[in-house]
Amino acid sequence: MAHATSIQYEPVAEIGGGAYGTVYKARDTESGQFVALKSVRVQTDQNGLPVSTVREVALLRRLEQFDHPNVVRLMDVCATKRSDQETKVTLVFEHVDQDLKTYLERAPAPGLSPERIKDLMKQLLCGLAFLHTNRVMHRDLKPENILVTSQGQVKLADFGLARIYSCHMALTPVVVTLWYRPPEVLLQSSYATPVDIWSTGCIFAEMFRRKPLFCGDSEVDQLGKIFDVVGLPPEEEWPTDVTLSRKNFPPLLPRPITDVVPEINGQGAQLLQKMLTFDPLKRISALNALEHPYFQDEETLTQTKS
């Protein structure tokens, strides 16, 4: 099989390396299309591929059937042996020319127009709502994992992989960015789909600011930067299952979100606030966010269904 894969997909270039392995651009020799190959090394024992890997990848393939416009296509999956203890699972995605990071960097001088931002946000939330209703969370949402096609269509990448990685992989020592992490993850409390909404909020702000919202260099520093803006949460909202005490942080009051994102309009500021809510249970859901008045006015041209 290793052989067959390497024949079908001819590597063209290395796209980049994340925490979990390298992404290659390759050409599918059967169709001529470009693809992105992402390999995951999975620890295997004498009973073969771990159950969690089998189920998670099967779920990603199941999602494929819906052909959602805001989710990157997973065209093929391949399992090859590396050693008795390790199997390589290669995920073959459609190749998309740029990610949101480059897209933002390349936007000419005053940045993206408010309409463009609204459209991107709508597509992003649509993709997220789709994943969340299918009980898949991203957990690592950031501009690098949001792809934008040359037609401006948003496609989420790398969702559902976090669990495949975390169970059976020795992480390569790469610094994983903390900037889009929600408080519950930074505090190592339990978490669920609201994590992605926090990250989306950070990205929403970044689209206006053209620089990241909270740039911490450690967990505590990141939390400090967050409380700087959203204020120190009340005692009763502080999760009980965490070691870090609320007393480690100065008693700050929330600042108006427009202090840090001055370009945003009223409705947008309100939505952003609901996304950057400390308590994950009170944070707005993807589906409700799509219903928010921010998206209601007509001027937006949407590409959620291309």
Partner 1 sequence: SVQDGSSNNAKTLSSLQVDERRAPLKSWANACGPKECWQSVVDESRMALIKMEPERRWVCIWSSACVSPLMLSSPPFCGADGCMEESVFLYPHGLQGLHSLQALVPSLLRREVEMALEKLDLIFDHTYAWELFLDMMESQKHHTLSNADLPQHFTDATRAILVDWLIQVHEMMHFQDETLYLAIHLLNRSLRQVKVTTANLQLLGIVCLFIAAKKEECLLPEVSELCSLMDHTYTKHQLLRMERKVLSVLKFDLSYCPPLHFLLLFASIARCSDKVVWMGRYLLELSLFEGQCVVFLPSQLAGAALCLARQVLQEPPTPEGEAAWCLAFSIHIGSEMVLLSIMRILASAAAKAQTQDTCATFIKFSSPETMHVSRHPALNIATGVLDVWS
Ligand X SMILES: Nc1ncnc2c1ncn2[C@@H]1O[C@H](COP(=O)(O)OP(=O)(O)OP(=O)(O)O)[C@@H](O)[C@H]1O
Is residue 169 near partner 1 by the rule CB under 8 A?
Answer: no
Pick the closer one to ligand X by CB: 20 or 179: 20
Pick the closer one to partner 1 by CB: 28 or 206: 28
Is residue 282 near partner 1 by the rule CB under 8 A?
Answer: no
C-beta separation of 123 from 153 below 8 A: yes
Q: Is 221 a catalytic site residue? A: no
Number of residues that bind partner 1 (CB under 8 A): 50
38 is in an annotated binding site: yes
Smallest gap, in angstroms, from Cβ of residue 225 to Mg ion? 23
Look at residue 255 and give the partner it binds from partner 1, Mg ion, ligand X, none, a contact being a CB closer than 5 to 8 Å depending on partner kind. Answer: none
Task: Dump the DSSP string for the chain.
Answer: -HHHHHHHEEEEEEEEEETTEEEEEEEETTT--EEEEEEEEEE-BTTBS-HHHHHHHHHHHHHHTT--TTB--EEEEEEEEEETTEEEEEEEEE--SEEHHHHHHHS-TT-S-HHHHHHHHHHHHHHHHHHHHTT---S--SGGGEEE-TT--EEE-STTHHHHHHHH-PPPS-PPP-TT--HHHHTT----THHHHHHHHHHHHHHHHSS-S---SSHHHHHHHHHHHH-PPPGGGS-TT-SS-GGGS--PPPPPGGGT-TT--HHHHHHHHHHT-SSTTTSPPHHHHHHSGGGTSTT----S--
Tell me how far apart the alpha carbons of residues 120 and 127 are, in angstroms, rounded to a whole number: 11
Is residue 140 near ligand X by the rule CB under 6 A?
Answer: yes
Binding marks (x or -) toward ligand X, 236..275, rule CB under 6 A? ----------------------------------------
Parallel, antiparallel or unpaired: strands 86-94 and 74-83: antiparallel
State which of residues 99, 119, 196, 206 lies at the interface with ligand X (CB under 6 A).
99
State which of residues 64, 76, 86, 144 lies at the interface with ligand X (CB under 6 A).
144
Catalytic residue among 28, 119, 140, 196: 140
- Contacts to partner 1 from residues 41-70, by CB under 8 A: 44, 46-49, 51-52, 54-55, 57-63, 65-68, 70
Is residue 277 near partner 1 by the rule CB under 8 A?
Answer: no
Residue positions annotated with a catalytic role = 140
Binding positions for ATP are 38
Binding site for ligand X (CB under 6 A): 15-20, 23, 36, 72, 93, 95-96, 99, 140, 144-145, 147, 157-158
Binding site for partner 1 (CB under 8 A): 1, 5, 44, 46-49, 51-52, 54-55, 57-63, 65-68, 70, 76-81, 87, 126, 129-130, 133-137, 163, 190-194, 280-281, 287, 290, 304-305
